[in-house]
Structure 1
Amino acid sequence: MKRRDFIKKAGMGAAAVAATAVNAPYVIAQKKTTIKWRIQTYAGPALAAHVIKPSIDAFNKAANGEMVIELYNADQLVPQGELFRAVQKGTMDACQSDDDSIAAPVDVAV
């Protein structure tokens, strides 16, 4: 193949690629929204610092800003005896509790 033929064919190929790129649909990136969860623990601040806070911090770091869990200590959002119902109603997204403090309408004893 002659050098000029190669250059002509390469030029035609590049023109074809450019034409398809011009006709491609516009893609608009959507702004990322951060998912936020609220979780209340049964523990007070001193115990929560050891029981759940390290896990929440590790999760928030691993989620890279795509999801954030906000931690609330005992009785900050709802009274301790209402944790189960508060999650059911959507007052908060999750809770950390045990069978003594969750006040579930069903038996959750282990």
Structure 2
Amino acid sequence: MNAMEKLYQVILERKASAQEGSYTGYLFEQGLDKILKKCAEECGEVIIAAKNGKAEDTIGEISDLLYHLTVLMANEGIAWEQVEAELERRAQKLGNLKKFHQVDKDT
């Protein structure tokens, strides 16, 4: 079991039986809006840390974002295996550069 799977299991345990003082339990108690707000906040912090160029800070912020995304997954009933399967599916694609359409600004 890798670190993400372990994290997911702990989060599921906190969801099933909230412990007093548990931040994870607090997020579930507050609901989807709070979880989404934290995901957005952490995403912004990843961007700022990366822009500042300190790998240690960026690693910490990415870890925070992954934690909050995992809480979101658990809240929405999305299993870690489903995300892994999607990542595997995408890894099989070759030449998957998306083509962007040109916008004619004169029309």
The two structures share one fold, judged by TM-score above 0.5: no
- TM-score, L = length of structure 2: 0.22
Structure that is richer in helix per residue: 2
**Structure with the bigger percentage of strand:** 1
Radius of gyration: which is bigger? Answer: 1
